[in-house]
């Protein structure tokens, strides 16, 4: 398991957005985008370890870490329930990792083509897990991302892979040939 700060030392995604929205110099288009994200009712607690600079158009390393867990109490139940919740969690912000080196583009849409998971050890999806995401490749309107969900005790709980279609806005001056 990678060495990262524990979730108790990090801000939630909502707290990070609030921090950005308090900036009076924030451009209106960023303010609208952040308000849209904030309005989504996501049943996941997310604490980014290395939040990307959302205002930067420079390429960034295609690697992200998040502490994640389901909101609320699920408890000791059938492991299949925790696996289903982990599958939902694993899809959130996963494909976005492939975009980090390509920040100069405006994304029209992204959609998953396939998403596979392998479960290695028992876990609780309502307990904090470290989600390690990295993208070894993106190009030709596609992105590939690998992820690992680590329990707090350092045990690898699940591995994920996703390929998706990514469409960007065409530059009007760019040739279509």
Of residues 50, 131, 51, the one with CA closest to residue 86: 131
Give the catalytic positions in this structure. 91, 112, 162
CA-to-CA dists, residue 87 to 17, 90, 96, 163, 172, angstroms: 25, 5, 16, 15, 39
């Amino acid at each position: 398991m990678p060495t990262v700060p524990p979730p108790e030392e990090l801000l939630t995604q909502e707290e990070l957005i609030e921090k950005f929205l308090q900036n009076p110099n924030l451009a209106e288009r960023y303010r609208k985008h952040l308000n849209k994200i904030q309005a989504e009712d996501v049943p996941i607690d997310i604490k980014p370890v290395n939040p990307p600079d959302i205002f930067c158009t420079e390429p960034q390393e295609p690697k992200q870490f998040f502490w994640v867990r389901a909101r609320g109490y699920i408890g000791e139940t059938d492991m299949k329930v925790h696996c289903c919740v982990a599958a939902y969690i694993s899809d959130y912000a996963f494909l976005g990792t492939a975009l980090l080196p390509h920040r100069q583009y405006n994304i029209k849409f992204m959609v998953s083509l396939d998403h596979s998971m392998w479960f290695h050890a028992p876990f609780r999806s309502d307990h904090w897990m470290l989600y390690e995401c990295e993208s070894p490749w993106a190009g030709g309107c596609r992105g590939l991302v690998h992820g690992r969900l680590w329990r707090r005790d350092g045990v690898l709980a699940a591995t994920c892979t996703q390929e998706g279609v990514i469409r960007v806005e065409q530059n009007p001056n760019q040739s279509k040939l």
